[in-house]
Amino acid sequence: MKCGMLKGTCERASSSMEMETPDRTKAASSSTPISKFEDSPVFNYINNLSPIKPVKSIHVAHTLSSLSFASLQSIFTSPHVSSLKESRLHRRHQNLDFSKLKSPSRDAQRASANERAEAELSENFGERISIPSTTVEQLGEDNKLTFELSHTLDYECGSPDSRTNQEMCLGRARNFDQQVEPDIGNTQAGPEGEWASLAPDTVDLLIFSSPNDAEAFQGIIQRSPGLETGLDAAISSSLIRNNIAELQKMQLLFQVASGGHPEMGDASESIEIKHTREDLGSHDLETMGPYPCDGLNNEAELHDPFAEMKPLSNFQRGLRRRCLDFEMVGAHHHKSLPDRSNSSSLSHPEGMIASTNLMLTSVNSKRGGQPSMCILPGIGLHLNSLASAKDCYNVINHDSSFSETHSNMSCQELLQQTVISNASDREADESGNIFVEDNPLAMVLLDEPNPNPNPNLNPNSPRKKRRRAEHPGDDDGCKRCNCKKSKCLKLYCECFAAGIYCMEPCACQDCFNKPIHEDIVLATRKQIESRNPLAFAPKVIRASDSVTENESMKTPVSARHKRGCNCKKSSCLKKYCECYQGGVGCSINCRCEGCRNRFGTKDGTVPVAEADCEAEDEEAEKREKAGLDAIPLRTEKLKTVLPGTPSGLSGSLLPQTTVPPPKSKPLRSSFMATVGSTYVLNSTQKLGKAKAEFLLPPLPNLEKPQQFNAENELPEILRGSSTPNVNIKTASPSSKRVSPPHGEFGSSPSLRSGRRLILQSIPSFPSLTPQH
DNA sequence: GAGTTTGAAACT
DNA sequence: CAGTTTCAAACTC
């Protein structure tokens, strides 16, 4: 088999093949003497024997030279990037870097061939060869390629031809030429047709080349029939669920692949696919291509197969694009799949990962509690983003029955909200890129099989994006930075502080917070973290983000500003106040003056006049009368929610009950006690150091991720308030604090569950710092 | 949209 | 650690 040939040989073969392909196409299309000659059995035999094909056209020779100088990657780059370039699918591959790598060879081909179909065909053809060779020889080195291959496979999955070809190729990958011949005809028909016909070969090759891939892919391929016929979202969704294992495999592969290429992925793919699915109607078929199989192929590719892959690739790619993959950076060092796959065993110093995994675990309960690796990178989101994300929530709801999905949907909602908030502005920036992908959390969301088959629910659709963007008030959480002097490399920059790259919507100047400056960003971030390990920690801990806006206004108590504000003039009544901005009440950590935070003053009182919720205010007043601060009230609510299922994390950490819980409730044993104590202490405690003590989230450089104790898991408010006891202090900001067991929490099972929920719901801040 | 206010972040 | 400066968001007009 040609795959077995030496790398150099393979390259040459690829080049020659590429060169040859156009000619072959021509030959096939025109009955010239040459073509006749080629068609002769002898010629075919020779072709099969020799990896080096005779160069038939001079202009092709140029291509060869150019190709010969091109890097392996450029040569081996996924064919679909180019082939689909003019198709609807082209948007999937937004990876600029990748395309750049390819561009030289591609351009050369075009320059020489001057015929798009030919060039594409040659690329595709070349890739067939290159794929196996790459896999065989560089297996493990260029995982990226593997991932690309997986995509390629996706394309093929839906094609009826793919199966046929697959069968052909399974036994004999050698017959490129034989398969090429038919392809030539298709090529003339159109790029898509050409691609569709070509794809099968690649699939086969992939299967052979990579055992792992083969496994994962085969399942997908086997499903192709269903895809072909089904083509509806329901099927795709079911497929997704059914192929979780395969997806996981893919994920692993991708993880490895993605490790070294921050920019490699285009997050847009999954989204694009989803869009297609939404739009998938008869009209799509019309545009698919001249060949019926093309249409099917495209659909299948776009929908099911990719949908399956989507969660993985999407998430990963999304991370790359939007999120500062600081974890990834660290992860790059260890490419072993097990490390990444096993969240619990992650050697990553950053506790956030662990916490995130937990959260995701709950979210992805359907996956058997197996935390998805994808989750890890998704952490680069500022908690505030989540909090603010709720602003966008309503929009989402309007769009669809999105909210219809289960109780644990709330978590998804949260994620989506976040995604929306972060991405709403940038939808158009890069052709076809969907903002959702940009958001790590969004990725997480995507990663979770969406039970809701309704494509309309897909928040990723362009339509939805548009809608969201149209909602002016909704993008409170979606705002981008406007930095002018900080280069978006300081915490002044909201984007940078949130661990995300600046995007088009940003009005920043001289921005360095972009993927292209990843190194700088990482270095800067690391520097800042070294100075303050919690610099990138969420500023506000919210017990629940899934509440509606109205509710969110009420919330606060359950959440607290971690470090506390320092307001002097705003009375914590304006967004200048971080606490207020975060929708949380001030805490003892605040050094504010004249605090009138409507969400709760640092004294633990809620200004009645300013409180939005009258009922709440009344309750607060009652509580105050009873000797309890207003905060406990909210805490009670929170508590009521806590016992909920893990899925409830989603939503419902926020007090949704309008009825005040019985005051007799031993809340104190749990949150209440904590909170109350906090406020009580508050008067006397203005701690400077207290900050660190109450910092909630798992610290970035968590040394003992597994040591989650109640406090670690609890929102700062709870923890901080749990007891004035300073024992809560963390050993170091970066490490989780080891706090003495709180009998209150420990004694209550319900509380435990609540703790868990809280922990899960609390995104740990993204630690960009690579492993220390 | 420009200018002011504000408080966090950064610096000394 | 405290004071000062820088910065960008929030706010006002």
Report pLDDT digits (tens) over A215-245: 333 433 344 333 333 434 443 444 344 444 4
Residues near strand C (C-beta below 7 A) are: A 479, 481-488, 490, 492-494, 574-576, 581, 688-689
Note the pLDDT of residue A529: 85
Strand B reaches within 7 A of the A358 CB? no
Highest mean pLDDT: which range of A431-440, A504-513, A695-704, A740-749: A504-513
Nearest nucleotide, C1' to the C-alpha of A688? C1
| Residue-level pLDDT at A431 | 34
Residue range A587-591: average pLDDT?
83
The predicted pLDDT at position A97 comes to 38
Q: Could you tell me the sign of the dihedral formed by the alpha carbons of A576, A577, A578, A583, in that order?
A: negative
Whole-number pLDDT of residue A44:
63
**C-alpha torsion angle, residues A72, A76, A77, A80 (rounded to 10):** 170
pLDDT score recorded for residue A338: 36
pLDDT of residue A497: 87
User: Does residue A421 approach strand B to less than 7 Å at its CB?
Assistant: no
Q: Kindly report which listed range (A37-41, A112-116, A492-496, A512-516) carries the lowest average pLDDT score.
A: A112-116
Instruction: Evaluate if the CB of A573 falls below 7 Å from strand B.
Output: no
**Could you check: is the Cβ of residue A565 within 7 Å of any atom of nucleic acid strand B?**
yes
Residue A599 has pLDDT above 50, yes or no: yes
- Residue A42's pLDDT band, with cuts at 50, 70 and 90, is low
What value does the mean pLDDT of chain A take? 44
Query: CA A735 → C1' C10, Å?
Result: 34
How far does the CA of A576 sit from the C1' of B4, in Å? Answer: 14
Assess whether pLDDT exceeds 80 at residue A710. Answer: no
Protein-contacted positions of strand C (CB under 7 Å): 1-2, 6-11
Terminal Cα-to-Cα distance of chain A (whole angstroms): 46
The bases of strand B with some atom under 7 A from any protein CB are 5-10
Indicate if the pLDDT at residue A285 is higher than 80: no
Q: How far is the CA of A687 from the C1' of C1 (A)?
A: 13
Whether A540 sits with its Cβ under 7 A from any strand B atom: the answer reads: no
At residue A43, the pLDDT reads: 56
Count the neighbouring beta carbons within 10 Å of the beta carbon of residue A116: 17
Res. A363 pLDDT band, cuts 50 70 90: very low
Q: H or E element: which one contains A560?
A: strand A560-561
Mean pLDDT in residue range A408-424: 38
Phi-psi region of A492 (alpha: psi -120 to 50; beta: other; left: phi over 0): alpha
User: Looking at residue A480, what is its pLDDT?
Assistant: 76
The closest nt to A591, taking CA to C1', is B7
Helix axes A160-171, A211-229, angle to 10 degrees: 150
Å from A488 (CA) to C6 (C1')? 14
Which nucleotide lies at the shortest CA–C1' distance from A567?
B7
Burial of A558 (0-12, 13-18, 19+ CB in 10 A): buried
pLDDT confidence band for A472 (50 / 70 / 90): very low
pLDDT of residue A135 exceeding 80, the answer is: no
Binned at pLDDT 50, 70 and 90, residue A39 comes out as low
Chain-centroid distance, C-alpha A210? 25
The confidence score (pLDDT) of residue A741 equals: 35
Strand partners, A540: A561
pLDDT value for A111: 40
Cα separation of A443 and A95, whole Å?
Answer: 17
Radius of gyration of chain A (CA): 28
**Nearest nucleotide relative to A570: CA against C1':** B6
pLDDT at A532: 82
CA atoms A84, A85, A87, A93: torsion sign: positive
A171 pLDDT exceeds 80? Answer: no
Q: Is the pLDDT of residue A461 over 70?
A: no
CA distances from A180 to A184, A207, A209, A597, A612 (A): 6, 19, 19, 71, 70
Per residue, what are the HEC states of A24-69? Answer: HHHHHHCCCHHHHHHHCHHHHHHHHHCCCCCCCCHHHHHHHHHHHH
Q: Name, in order, each residue with C-beta under 8 angstroms of A581's C-beta and a sequence gap of 6 or more.
A: A384, A540, A575
In chain A, % of residues over pLDDT 70: 13
Element (H, E) at A283: helix A282-288
pLDDT at A61 over 70: no
User: Which pLDDT score is estimated for A542?
Assistant: 54
Q: What span, in angstroms and rounded, lies between the C-alpha atoms of A438 and A502?
A: 11
The Cα diameter of chain A in Å comes to 101
pLDDT at A78: 35
Q: How many CB atoms lie within 10 A of CB A187?
A: 31
Distance in Å from B2's C1' to A207's CA comes to 63
Assign A682 a pLDDT band (cuts: 50, 70, 90): very low
Distance A710 CA to C3 C1' (A): 38
Q: Provide mean pLDDT across the span A575-598.
A: 85
What's phi and psi for A316, nearest 5 deg? -65, -45
- Per cent of chain A over pLDDT 90 is 0
Query: Which range has highest mean pLDDT (A304-308, A327-331, A339-343, A503-507)?
Result: A503-507
User: Does residue A540 have a pLDDT over 60?
Assistant: yes
- Helix, coil or strand: residue A433: coil
Closest CA to A323 of A522, A481, A475: A522
**pLDDT given for residue A369 in this prediction:** 37
Does the CB of A567 sit below 7 A from strand B? yes
CB of A751 within 7 Å of some strand B atom:
no
Q: Measuring CA to CA, how many Å separate A56 from each of A62, A128, A333, A565, A667?
A: 12, 20, 46, 74, 84
Determine the distance between A565 (CA) and C12 (C1') in angstroms: 23
